[in-house]
Amino acid sequence: MHMISENQNLINNILPMFEYKARWDRSGMAYEVMSNGGRIDLLYSVNGKRMAVVEVKRPSSSRSGEERALEQAVKYAKATNTPIAIATDGEHYLKTHQLKENKPLLDYKGHELGLQSIHLLKDSNLIFFKSQHSLEEKAKSDIDEIRGVFNKLNKHGRDIGLTSGVERVVEIAKIIFIKMLCDNNIILDSDNWNFISSEKNKIWVINKMLEKVKEDSSGDVEITDLIINNEKNDIVSKIIELLSEVDLNYEHYDVTGSLFQEFLSEKARGGSTNDLGQYFTPKKIISLVYELSEYKEGKTIYDPFCGTGGILTEFFLQNTDSFDEYDKRNFGKDYLFGSEISRAVSLLAKMNMVLVGDGHSNIENKDSLSLKNGYMEKDSTFDIIATNMPFAPSTPDDVPEKYFKISLTSGPIANFIEHCLLKCKKGGKIILIVGKGFLSENKSADFRKELLKKYNLEAIYMLYEGLFEPYTQAFSCMLVISNTIPDPKSYIDFFSIKDDNSIGVVKKYHLCQERYKNGFYKVKREDILNSKNCDLRGRLYIQRKANFTIGDLVEYIEPVEDKNPNFKLKKMTTPNSIEDGIQMMETRSNKQVKEGIGSFKVKLQADAIVVSRITNRRKDSGRYLGSAMVGKNAGNLITREYHQFKLKDSKDLFYILACLRGNSFQEIVELASGTGGQQRIAKDIILKEPIQKPTPDLREKAKEYIEGIEIINKRLLASIREREEIKEQIKNFLQA
């Protein structure tokens, strides 16, 4: 075999590699430079300042010379007072060393730089490497900077006149899309961005670039012209100027491939309300979906409600890391499929797929359940169905009744789930994120029973509160289903994902026998099938041994409606108010109050414990999860949505309140919540809650606990009142 010399390797391979991958300026490269230490193969300078020494070796199957090559590069770097030393053969290895830190250079994830990460050796990073050996801190500051720019871009979108959330974001996203393509050398490059920046009519140039992307993607990306007109060119120029300040090379960041998704997030756009009408699945949950799918090579994936394509891009990135451009495109073409009803959002999904390297994404701008969608055909089935279902779905009018086999009378959520079941091949896997109301709502009871009989529901994961904020406060869960006939004697796994650590537990143990020692629990399939409503809230089937319960300390009081319209109500202050009388929010409109209609009025007995039977935990609501309050005097409630319990012994007051605030009871109550947190808690759930038999010591500790909460709440209320007063003063000042 003919071996090329080091000099030939430098000229033929190394120089082009650094010029095109690291984007080193050819004018800054000097080779065969003589120094006190010897001859330097390649010396690179930025703005006249020496930045890196490169020691070049010829390609060899032997790896023994790597360290010696790096030692030689370090020697030359020290002799010339150059901060960075690099050794490479251009084929098998690239080794780095930063002289100040005496350590190798590290990427944004803390890994040593190698041949695959040579693009990170561009000028801006080399300058940073002079003082720091790792890009991790730079990544954090870069992301914060990018978020700030995204926030400004959103404001400029309003200046252009793009008032609708989706409209504004899509149009700005097109410009970001072009910038990311240029920064990542996908279809476009930095010269294209420089051309956009230098041209006067920027809107016209951007549209030309979008057309170029469409042509290169074989027409798969249906990019339309920017809807803004040329009169707004100055604002577009400002947007381009802002984007020129940041590097959108997504390979730099831990959110690999998700900078585009970062822009779509409310946090990045400086908002607190969901003006897009979209609920984005967090990346950590998408990663869990991928793990639970147990994906194997050659399997097809379908997301019937794909949104901006987060789940599909995860499957793409997880399987194409070592692929070349041709194989990447074929993977997307052959294995990834998606539908999205919103044309604007489907466009964002297609952009997302192009950015991660897939120019042939099969994303359809169609309603998944409409006959106009080709995926409704019987032979259109897939190995894996993975999706975050709409929280408020509606079934299209053109779906024939015969299409649904088991969800005919069960409503849209059941229809959408059955569509996923029907599109899955025999032996395939289905991962669904659905509103938690599906687990217990009455109209889906028959569908749940048939689902358990005909499909192997393997696991249900409860997803923690606030997961989809600020988009929605809806509660949700994840269903893992195999398209196989289940064993009636089998079990279904349950697990509550309460935080990021819980996600790690699921990833580690979901296929292990040890899972039941790590927070998982199981319920017999036949126990659920034999229940009245086929309720899928697993905790309801766990028989907890209890020598003592709350029911041993209280008696339930049946609600009695008060017919007297002349009663007064005060606003509720905190969920732990221990004051004279119950304080409730007026929930009726002024008209209802005037006409004496609306909410029920229920008598409150003296010395009763009152507990909300609605599990609404919304922060701006007057209802709280398992709220417990005390009425020391008889009075009135404006609603029936509370249970009343009479103490058998008044000494147990604080102890019972503390038990109702405990984690065990809170978890049980949480299971009662539906999609919007509006499910009711049955009185028996409270009465049967296992507790320790109270002792004088437990009663005293409980009193200290409740009084401590009361002090904190009073301080919080005082702070809120002070803040409102300041806001009012500012308002008055501005109006003066």
Burial of residue 292 (CB within 10 Å: 0-12, 13-18, 19+) is buried
The predicted model scores a pTM of 0.69
> H or E stretch including 384?
strand 382-388
pLDDT tens for residues 299-320? Answer: 999 999 988 888 998 999 889 8
pLDDT confidence band for 293 (50 / 70 / 90) = very high
Q: Hey, what are 6's tokens?
A: 């080091």
444-458, 464-478, 565-579, 713-727, range with the lowest pLDDT: 565-579
Q: Is the pLDDT of residue 8 over 60?
A: yes
Look at residue 536 in the predicted model and tell me its pLDDT. 92
Cβ atoms of 176 and 263 within 8 Å: the answer is yes
What are 593-646's pLDDT values in tens digits? 566 555 556 666 777 787 776 654 444 333 344 555 665 555 555 566 678 888
> Mean pLDDT throughout 435-460?
91
Q: Can you tell me whether residue 197 is helix, strand or coil?
A: helix
> Average pLDDT over the chain, rounded to whole?
78
pLDDT band at 573 (very low <50, low <70, confident <90, very high): very low
pLDDT confidence tier of residue 700, bands split at 50, 70 and 90: very high
In tens, the pLDDT along 231-287 reads: 667 778 888 888 887 777 765 554 444 566 666 665 444 444 444 445 567 788 899
Question: Is the confidence at residue 486, as pLDDT, over 90?
Answer: yes
What are the sequence ranges of the domains in the chain?
6-134, 137-264, 283-490, 550-702
Of 244-258, 291-305, 555-569, highest mean pLDDT: 291-305
The per-residue pLDDT for 580 is: 33
Is the predicted pLDDT of residue 665 greater than 60, yes or no? yes
Dihedral sign from CA coordinates of 90, 95, 96, 99: negative
Q: In percent, how much of the chain has pLDDT > 70? A: 71
Tell me if 107 sits within 8 A of 120, measured CB to CB.
yes
Q: Are 14 and 115 in contact (CB under 8 A)?
A: no
Residues 6+ apart with CB under 8 A from 230: 201, 203, 204
Give the residue, 517 or 566, on which the prediction is more confident: 517
The pLDDT of residue 514 is: 93
Q: What is the pLDDT of residue 586?
A: 43
User: What's the CATH architecture for 283-490?
Assistant: 3-Layer(aba) Sandwich (3.40)
Which of 87-96, 192-201, 211-220, 700-709 comes out lowest in average pLDDT?
A: 211-220
Q: In this model, does residue 2 exceed pLDDT 60?
A: no
Highest average pLDDT, of 60-69, 558-567, 578-587, 612-621, comes from: 60-69
Under CATH, which architecture does the 550-702 domain have? Alpha-Beta Complex (3.90)
Alpha-carbon span 728 to 736, nearest angstrom: 12
Mean pLDDT of 711-716: 70
**pLDDT for residue 448:** 94
Tell me, which fold does domain 6-134 have in CATH? tt1808, chain A (3.90.1570)
